[in-house]
Structure 1
Amino acid sequence: MNRVFGLFYFFQKLVITKAKAAVIQNVSDLYTTNIPPCLKVADLGCSSGPNTLLVITEITEALDKRCHQLNRDTPEFQVFLNDLLNNDFNIIFKTLPAFYEKPKEEKGEKFGYCSISGLPGSFYERLFPSRSSFPEATVNGYQFTVDYGKVPSMAESNKGNIYFVRMSSPSVHKSYLEQFQKDFSLFLSLRSKKIISGGQMVLTMLGRRSEDPFGNACYIWEYLSKSLNDLVSEGLTEEAKVDSFNLPFYMPSSEELDVIVSADGSFYLDELEFFYINWDGCDDDATKSSCLIDLQVGRK
């Protein structure tokens, strides 16, 4: 079990590293001409592991470096760490004294004051009060994994599978796509109410380069389905349980994302980049197996 969690955190760190250049460039571009006295940052899906504060560290250090280049004071930072209600925010809070002290030791007292607070709740719901609009400064919302929390309602059975595969009915894939469209549209709509005009979000999510919905994005779930069916044949689990289980997950293509962003109308697609990564977290260019989409959207 420890090995599984270790691989998960290593995989998560690899995703953060892949997106780092986009985050730094995003911050540098946005604050070249207008650096506010207080920068508000929302990290949606922060988790509570060793990588949680890595995002904020990179943002604050990038902006501090940019301010030194422009001979300006580093702004203060107000950070909102968001995750679901069962996330262990206490683990995060216990690390904050050391987190606050480190930049003071390395950069001195002039480094911008940083205030970090927990924001429990689903990002498919409203996270901020209606009158708590972010200030005129641009808000940099940051998201590492956009997940899809609802299992699609399917008119036909997806018997023996936990995700759609080539053998699934066409209606099964249609149900998954429609659920993704609803969820991601809701996500954009909720974020648009708080991010001011000119603001941007950097989103990372697992996706697929090909428009073929049954490409290499699906093979790992086929293997998992086969493993679960083996357990059924060995009498270790019930067939009905496997048949009733479907992953609340979807790996979109670039075209599918573009269509949803355009239809929502609140944002525009600024940049989209693909990275290939391994499920086991190994950063070996010769054996990439899954596709990570780095999506930057700007508030109109």
Structure 2
Amino acid sequence: MASKQMASYARNSIIQKGTQNRMKPLIEAAIIDLCTSGRTSSLLPEKMVIADLGCSSGPNALALVSIAIEAVHGYYDQFQQPPPELCVLLNDLPDNDFNTVVKGLVMLRRSNEPVVVTGVIPGSFYERLFTSSSLHFISSSSCLQWLSKAPEVLVRNQIPAYDIDEHARHERLPMVLEAYAQQFKKDFTHFLALRAKELVSGGRMVVSLIGRPSYVISSKFFHLWEIIAQILSVMTLEGVIDKAKFDSFYIPVYGPSCKELRDIVQEEGSFFIREMQEHDPTTDYANALVTPSRFLNHWRAIFEPIIVQHFGDVMDEFVRTAEQRWSLEGSIQDERSRNPRVMLFVSLEKAQ
């Protein structure tokens, strides 16, 4: 039980916290724009609905909506007017720990005046979650790299995402990466269309997700799922897990580039890009993940559910195999430098 707690998301979300801190100025700017547009068109808005998608649980669950609330209150204070009534809604998948989230929402409601109405909305953000034209502001942090499902073409044709045979893996790599890219495009396009229906005209959305640097072409990028697949492939060769199960395992994660995101937003057409940033996350957490145990706890917190669901209770062996891989001094830093990742930040405005 202790090891489970040490590997929990709540204890291993330092990178996500750094990402949320980076989102703060974008959220504040979006809120000010919303309030300013309301002031120029008529009166200051009397109510506002704020939603966070993929809130998870733990210390970061309320971070983004708290930033938005403070920005709203700060703007209204400038004009010596009472802030609007706010409705704050948090979303995540149904198996999220909403008990701790609800307790946080109760504290949030008690500490703000006037009324802050709060609620949770379980469900996938790849489906409709809110009524039409009901939201003013949406945020989402470190979530949209998750796909709605594994790439259909790979599953249908029984093509492994990571073939144990090196020659076959290199031959299939372009097809695999293209399948992941197309699934991301389909999912992100659908996400934008859904949110456009739920936001008011001129509503704002600020999101972040893991991506690849602009200077790295897709075929040379080491995707998030490849690190997990490498460890699992060793376990397969050692006979710990079944090869057929390994070949049918797909982690639904994809890291796009800024250009991919921009092209999808422009092609979908419901939003204007107000700002887009690319940031190296390693500068936010310095040496926080330099030891194998800390690095493993971070990855385990993210990927354990999907691994256990497919392979059963193999996490102890997974940890042992990974520790062997990263036991040499500097191996984690070397792996991070060979396979750079960035956080992508996008501020969007719904077209009128």
Q: Sort the TM-score into its range (normalised by shorter chain).
A: 0.7 to 0.9
Does the CA-based 8 Å contact 2:211-2:257 persist in structure 1?
yes
- TM superposition shift of 1:33: 4.6
Amino acid corresponding to residue 58 of structure 2 in structure 1: G
1-structure distance, mates of 2:228, 2:198: 39
1:167 is displaced (CA, Å) by 5.5
2:94 matches 1:85: yes
TM-score, L = length of structure 2: 0.73
Measured against aligned partners, the alpha-carbon deviations of 1:31-70 in whole angstroms (never above 9, x if no partner) come to 1252311110111111122211122211111211121123
- Kindly indicate whether residue 121 of structure 2 is the aligned counterpart of residue 127 of structure 1: no
What is the Cα deviation at residue 185 of structure 1? Answer: 0.7
Matches within 5 A, 1:6-45: 8-34=12-38, 35-45=44-54
Q: Which whole-Å deviations, capped at 9, do the CAs of 1:1-21 have from their partners, x for residues lacking one?
A: 333325532222111111111
1:251 paired residue number: 255
Match of 2:203 among 196, 199, 223: 199
Partner residue in 1 for 2:116 = 114
1:278 to partner: Cα distance = 3.5
Equivalent residues in 2 for 1:30-69 (5 A)? 30-34=34-38, 35-69=44-78
User: Offset at 1:29?
Assistant: 2.3
Task: Name the counterpart of 2:342.
Answer: 291
d(CA) in 1 for partners of 2:188 and 2:240? 37
2:225–2:251 Cα contact (<8 Å) kept:
no
Q: More displaced, 282-291 or 112-121? A: 282-291
**How far 1:215 moved relative to its partner?**
4.2
Q: Structure 2 CA distance, aligned partners of 1:284 and 1:21? A: 25
Answer with 84-93 or 42-51: which moved more.
Answer: 84-93
Shift of 1:102: 3.1
Instruction: Determine if the alignment matches structure 1 residue 2 to structure 2 residue 20.
Output: no
Q: Which residue of 2 aligns with 1:225?
A: 229
Moved more, 70-79 or 86-95: 86-95
Paired residues of 1:14 and 1:283 also in contact (CA < 8 A): no
Q: Which of 129, 137, 141 is matched with 1:140 structurally?
A: 137
Do 1:161 and 1:246's aligned partners in 2 also have CA atoms closer than 8 Å?
A: no
Does the 8 Å CA contact 1:176/1:250 hold for their aligned counterparts?
A: yes
Q: Are the aligned partners of 1:217 and 1:251 in contact in 2 as well (CA < 8 Å)?
A: no
User: Quick one: distance in 2 between partners of 1:184 and 1:177?
Assistant: 10
Output the TM-score relative to the length of structure 1. Answer: 0.85
Q: 1:15 to 1:7 in 2, by over 3 A?
A: farther
Structure 1 partner of 2:192: 188
Aligned residue in 2 for 1:260: 264
The count of corresponding residues between Structure 1 and Structure 2 is 284
- Tell me the residue number matched to 1:150: 149
**Structure (1 or 2) with the greater helix fraction:** 2
Mapped partners of 2:94, 2:29: distance in 1? 32
Please say if residues 156 and 172 of structure 1, whose CA atoms lie closer than 8 Å, have aligned partners that are also in contact: no
Q: Determine if contact 2:138/2:206 at 8 Å carries over to the other structure.
A: yes
Cα distance in 2 between the residues matched to 1:167 and 1:238:
23
- Which residue of structure 1 lines up, in the alignment, with residue 285 of structure 2? 282
Code of the residue aligned with 1:122 in structure 2: it is: S
Distance change (3 Å), C-alpha of 1:291 and 1:166: farther
1:106 — aligned with what?
none
- 2: CA distance between counterparts of 1:268 and 1:250? 23
Native 8 Å contact 2:205 2:349 kept in 1: yes
Letter paired with 1:3? M
SS of the residue 1:269 aligns to: strand
Q: Give the letter for the 2:271 counterpart.
A: F
CA spacing shift, 1:161–1:223, aligned 2, 3 Å:
farther
Contact (CA 8 Å) 1:151, 1:247: kept in 2 or not?
yes
